[in-house]
Structure 1
Amino acid sequence: MDFGLTSGQREIRDQAARFADEEVAPQAAELDQEDRVPFETLETLSGMGFMGLCVPEEYGGAGSDFVSYALMLEEVSRADAGLGATLAVHTSAGTLPILTYGTEDQKTRWVPPLARGEKIGCFALTEPETGSDASAIQTRAERVDGGYRLSGHKQWITNGRIAGTMTVFARVEDKGVDKGVTAFVTSMDAEGVSFGKHAKKLGVISATTDDVILDNVFVPEEDRLGEEGKGLSVALGTLDPGRIGVAAQALGISEVAFRYATDYSTRRETFGKPIAEHQAVAFKLADMQTRTRAARLLTYEAAWMRDRGERVTEAGARAKLYASETANEVTHEALQVLGGRGYMKDESPVERHYRDARVTEIYEGTSEIQRLVISRGILREHAESLQLQDGAVVG
């Protein structure tokens, strides 16, 4: 589906697709079984410029746009959704917050190593007792001479053990007064940073997910990201483009499951003809393709809006909601088309895609949170339209 894409965007997509088919897909099942991060693949992606694809050249990136980033992420995720998750968190959550909210000094110091892939980024917000309600985090940042001392427990941090740079959130305390949630950037080799439990997950297994422990970690004043007490704005602002990345990841999962089901159904015969010619299967394929294409349009629209500097809170939520639910439906139907072969690990990759799809409805905000975001946007737009109508009547 090339309409609306520039020649440069198509070139990036095609390059990513070739790399995914030739280098990523052949090792995906092995990585899934061994719970292993593909470090050599990440190094190759760095050399291709994909680790900082949408980062400006002045900060060490490739200088491409967000649409190109979404295209790349979709193709990589089609081969290995775990690698897609690693890339998405590194870029959307690990690098872009510093570009968006950082000072010029912070951008110059922290972003180039991330954009070049010399360091991996992670985003430490979730805690054992805090998920969707980010305002309830318990990690503390005590004000001290020259900066802050952070202590707390962060849970399920994607890229945790392989990251070199962390965007982390804590409640600032200054002489016993709670100043509110605040964002910081710190190195993962800072004294007091350690790792807790390594998560054993249902899917996206080649993306490492770990608990991060902060024990009196010193963060200098100049590495606070934004103002004190404004950390929730940083977190929520980071989730907007992050959700577009999850939508792209879900698209890749949907596309590969649809392709596999189509190919299998044209080769597998029952009652003297390919099962794709039986209406029960043919209609499944029709629904799978239609939903995947619709999700792709929502995802590309949200990425395009971000490139134009438009608000993408609701657009990202729509893309993430629809694409993630589509990935779960399409992989479900693909497994149904394959029957027993789809259920077996050594018979097809569909069972892996089925497992990988599930988390796309959970991280970067559950489907329920996306519906909340979208509905609030609808009500806000309605209220604004009423104000405009009232103004026109008064005028």
Structure 2
Amino acid sequence: MIFAILLIVLIGALAYWRAPILAWTIGFAAWLAALQFGVSITVSPIVWGVFVVIAVVLNLPPLRRAVFTGPVFGVFKKITPAMSQTEQEAINAGTVWWDSDLFSGKPDWNKLLSFPDPKLTPEEQAFLDGPTEELCKLVDDWKITHEQMDLPEEVWSFIKSNGFLGMIIKKKYGGVEFSNYAHAKVVTKIATRGGSAAVTVMVPNSLGPGELLQHYGTEAQKDYYLPRLAKGLEIPCFALTSPYAGSDAGAIPDYGYVCRGSYTDPRSGERHENVLGVRVSWEKRWITLAPVATILGLAFKMYDPDHLLGSKEDIGITCALVPTEHEGVQIGRRHFPGGAAFMNGPTWGKDVFIPLDWIIGGKEYAGQGWRMLVECLSVGRCISLPAMSVASGKVASYTTGAYARIRDQFGLPIGKFEGVDEAMARIGGYTYQMEAAQDLALTGLDMGEKPSVLSAVIKYHNTERMRKTLNDAMDVHGGRTVVLGPRNYLARAYQAIPIAITVEGANILTRSMIIYGQGAIRCHPFVLREMKAAMASDAKEFDDAITGHIGFVVSNVFRSLWLGLTGAKLAGAPRGGETARYYKQVTRFSSAFALLSDMAMFSLGGSLKFREKLSARLGDMLSNLYIATACLKRFERDGAPKEDLAVLKWAVESNLHDIQTAMDGFLANLPNRALAFMLRRVIFPWGLTLKAPSDRIGTLVARSLMQPGGTRDRLTRGMFVSKDEQDPVGVLGPALHAVLETEPVEQKLRKLTREGKLCALTNAERLAEALDDGQINQVEFDAVTRARKLKRDVIMVDDFDKSLRHHDETLLERYVF
């Protein structure tokens, strides 16, 4: 009995710590020897013989390949689904980073906590405090989206002349060459003031001609275009999406064929005759900045039917730069994105001849367009839309927190009603998650990584959290944000939600196919190695990978069971105190996720990529593991402030609960029911034990939004807040302070009224009566009067004449009560 228990302990320990094959061999040999010589139990020579044979086979790679992994390799090559060129290029795009640790089942916490904290340089901080602040002051989002339907000329000029279009361009070309972190913070700040202005700034700095040129352009292309882009002399757009190919960008119908032709260069006016080039036809839709662009980045499929470039006929997706003044290029019409007024529209052309040197990178990069796009997209998806999502969270946190404390019903601030505080907890918690998730990814970018999987995670989850946050903020404000007008600081962002949900990879596609579809191959420690070995017929590499993979699966079975049985209480954590249990639970679920991932691939094989509901749940597991660790990293980066513990707990506990829910849903729907039954007993031996954040924690988060303090300041840092009390957001801060300061006087007035000592009919008359009777002094009277005026400014909505054209700015004159 003792030796049987020792055997179980030995297997568990070797598996838990992922011991190499030699350690397993020594361990079993020692156990057998102890069994025979320690307690004189005879071990059959047959047992020893079997053990020796297995040990020799496993420890001698050539023999192991001949006996075991070789036959497996033959089967693997037959069943591994073929990947298209576009799939291979997407898989190979970017790098893996912290996401590979989460896929390992054994995250290296010291690695996470040693990542440098993102910081702004003095130059970057000065840009945020100076030009970015000034730009925000120039932005009137109501006028832009309702009256002018465009940025005013002074805003366009300010953006061009102050380097906003050249944030990613290197200084040697005239750009400001900001870090990815600074780039994101500039977009975030502008977006807290107006989405149309933010989109106008972010698009030239995201996926488009500027980024593609810096990575792939010829020296001549860089020298000509980059200085002009940096100074705003050129307005770029990039035309990828077609009416017939949205998320499936690889299926674009736009094409060009190699031929000889003539053209006039619109930049120099020179005529060029009988040159080698491409005759291109395209129809693109949803192209931001297209109506005002001067330079068109164009993606199309390139063919060489006459073999003018070589033996290959289908060259592949190609990217070119075409001046919009070039003959045949059609631009100028606009789309009308809901809730925004940034320039967006179609472009088209028929048989437009362009020379080969207009291809980005020259003719050597013909056919390399898809690889170029997916590599750059892995960076851009970490920045622009996630930054706008963070901005929405900040605005929702700042405005809803203040409004819920200022506005009262039934004698209480509305934020103290539990239904409202539940919504506010989500606003604060999601805002914390969104910024933490993006900041950690930006750290990776500025370290030189291109985390393609994490970029999809952040794009999807930040924009979805933006949607939920704005929904909750609108609910709390009620009628205050139903009525459109200059005072409504939420409605335009609310209306524009579908834009972020749709672009740069539609969210449904991103969740169900991209996050896990790419992550399972890129981040898994062995799968990509096995696939590459199969494609290269490299039996030696496959042997090493599959052997490691088997050990990896065995390890995760024992780790998941042990961590589940103990509730991960015995797992290691880099920090003590209240956050230790969160690190331990992430370790537990990382092992369980790795196990489920392998079992999904094992039981479903190539059909897994068509089981989108299952792969979506696996993607949810990976995503929530990442966001939880990002929140823990943020908490440490902020100095582990105790007052932020509530919002940290809400954020991480909701992530962990979402992981548990995704795992439960995955196991409930895994087709192999016997396998699902066994996995459930391994991963959840005591059932589903984790709970969503408690009501008490949610209330603490809500209260932190409703009063000035460190948590509220950290959640809303980097947000533009006007200092003008006539501004609908600018008035919230003074109003909140005024209401809090005068609350004792207001309580006193209510008490006097209940006691019959103040008999006037209206609040205004009772206030005057209290002053006349000496119940309050002049200072208190003036403070209450000011607080009530500011409170009214916060609550009131706009009204117009019957034509809805002329807005009434004299609401205070109708102040009766």
> So what's the TM-score if we normalise by structure 1?
0.92
| Shift of residue 358, structure 1, vs aligned partner | 2.5
- Residues 91 and 38 of structure 1: CA distance in aligned 2, closer, same or farther (over 3 Å): farther
- Structure 2 counterpart SS, 1:111: helix
Aligned partners of 1:86 and 1:6: how far apart in 2?
23
User: Aligned match of 1:285 in 418, 421, 424?
Assistant: 424
Higher-Rg member (1/2): 2
- Structure 2 counterpart SS, 1:113: helix
Which residue in 2 is equivalent to 1:375?
516
Which residue in 1 is equivalent to 2:547?
390
Which residue in 2 is equivalent to 1:80?
194
Which residue in 2 is equivalent to 1:157?
287
Which residue in 2 is equivalent to 1:354?
494
Which residue in 1 is equivalent to 2:258?
143
CA contact (8 A) 1:180 1:228 kept: yes
Aligned partners of 1:197 and 1:330: how far apart in 2?
33
- Residues 21 and 109 of structure 1: CA distance in aligned 2, closer, same or farther (over 3 Å): closer
**1:6-155 counterparts in 2 under 5 A?**
6-8=120-122, 9-15=124-130, 18-19=133-134, 21-24=136-139, 27-34=140-147, 35-94=149-208, 95-145=210-260, 146-155=276-285
- Residues 310 and 342 of structure 1: CA distance in aligned 2, closer, same or farther (over 3 Å): same
User: Aligned match of 1:219 in 354, 361, 373?
Assistant: 354
Which residue in 1 is equivalent to 2:368?
230
CA offsets, 1:241-265, max 9 Å, x none? 2212111122112221222212211
Q: After alignment, is 63-72 or 277-286 more displaced?
A: 277-286
Q: After alignment, is 216-225 or 262-271 more displaced?
A: 216-225
CA contact (8 A) 1:89 1:242 kept: no
- Structure 2 counterpart SS, 1:194: coil
Is 1:208 the equivalent of 2:335?
Answer: no
Which residue in 2 is equivalent to 1:252?
391
Aligned partners of 2:258 and 2:236: how far apart in 1?
25
Aligned partners of 1:288 and 1:254: how far apart in 2?
7
| Shift of residue 114, structure 1, vs aligned partner | 0.9
Is 1:166 the equivalent of 2:296?
Answer: yes
CA contact (8 A) 1:20 1:78 kept: no
CA offsets, 1:80-118, max 9 Å, x none? 112211222111123111111212221111111111112
| Shift of residue 194, structure 1, vs aligned partner | 1.1
Which residue in 1 is equivalent to 2:460?
321
Name the aligned partner's letter for residue 198 of structure 2: G
Name the aligned partner's letter for residue 384 of structure 1: F
CA offsets, 1:321-374, max 9 Å, x none? 121011111111111011112111025121111012221111011112332222
Which residue in 1 is equivalent to 2:760?
none
Aligned partners of 2:247 and 2:283: how far apart in 1?
16
Which residue in 1 is equivalent to 2:106?
none
CA contact (8 A) 2:165 2:229 kept: yes
- Structure 1 counterpart SS, 2:150: coil
- Structure 1 counterpart SS, 2:206: helix
CA contact (8 A) 1:16 1:72 kept: no
Which residue in 2 is equivalent to 1:295?
434
- Structure 2 counterpart SS, 1:382: coil
Name the aligned partner's letter for residue 295 of structure 2: T
- Residues 320 and 39 of structure 1: CA distance in aligned 2, closer, same or farther (over 3 Å): farther
Q: After alignment, is 318-327 or 187-196 more displaced?
A: 187-196
Aligned partners of 1:375 and 1:66: how far apart in 2?
25
Aligned partners of 1:280 and 1:383: how far apart in 2?
45
CA offsets, 1:23-58, max 9 Å, x none? 22xx11111113223342132123322211121101
CA contact (8 A) 2:118 2:439 kept: no
Is 1:342 the equivalent of 2:477?
Answer: no
| Shift of residue 76, structure 1, vs aligned partner | 0.7
| Shift of residue 286, structure 1, vs aligned partner | 2.1
Aligned partners of 1:314 and 1:242: how far apart in 2?
12
CA contact (8 A) 2:290 2:332 kept: no
CA contact (8 A) 2:213 2:360 kept: yes
Aligned partners of 1:216 and 1:6: how far apart in 2?
48
- Structure 2 counterpart SS, 1:147: strand
| Shift of residue 10, structure 1, vs aligned partner | 3.8
CA contact (8 A) 2:159 2:201 kept: no
Q: After alignment, is 305-314 or 64-73 more displaced?
A: 305-314
- Residues 289 and 20 of structure 1: CA distance in aligned 2, closer, same or farther (over 3 Å): farther
List alignment gaps of at least 5 residues for structure 1: none
- Residues 17 and 334 of structure 1: CA distance in aligned 2, closer, same or farther (over 3 Å): farther
- Structure 1 counterpart SS, 2:547: helix
CA contact (8 A) 1:59 1:108 kept: yes
| Shift of residue 389, structure 1, vs aligned partner | 7.9
Aligned residues: 390
Name the aligned partner's letter for residue 150 of structure 2: R
Name the aligned partner's letter for residue 154 of structure 1: K
- Residues 390 and 210 of structure 1: CA distance in aligned 2, closer, same or farther (over 3 Å): same
CA contact (8 A) 1:20 1:75 kept: no
- Structure 2 counterpart SS, 1:326: helix
CA contact (8 A) 2:238 2:297 kept: yes
- Residues 391 and 233 of structure 1: CA distance in aligned 2, closer, same or farther (over 3 Å): same
Name the aligned partner's letter for residue 360 of structure 1: A
Aligned partners of 1:148 and 1:157: how far apart in 2?
22
- Residues 388 and 310 of structure 1: CA distance in aligned 2, closer, same or farther (over 3 Å): farther
- Structure 1 counterpart SS, 2:524: helix
- Residues 92 and 341 of structure 1: CA distance in aligned 2, closer, same or farther (over 3 Å): same
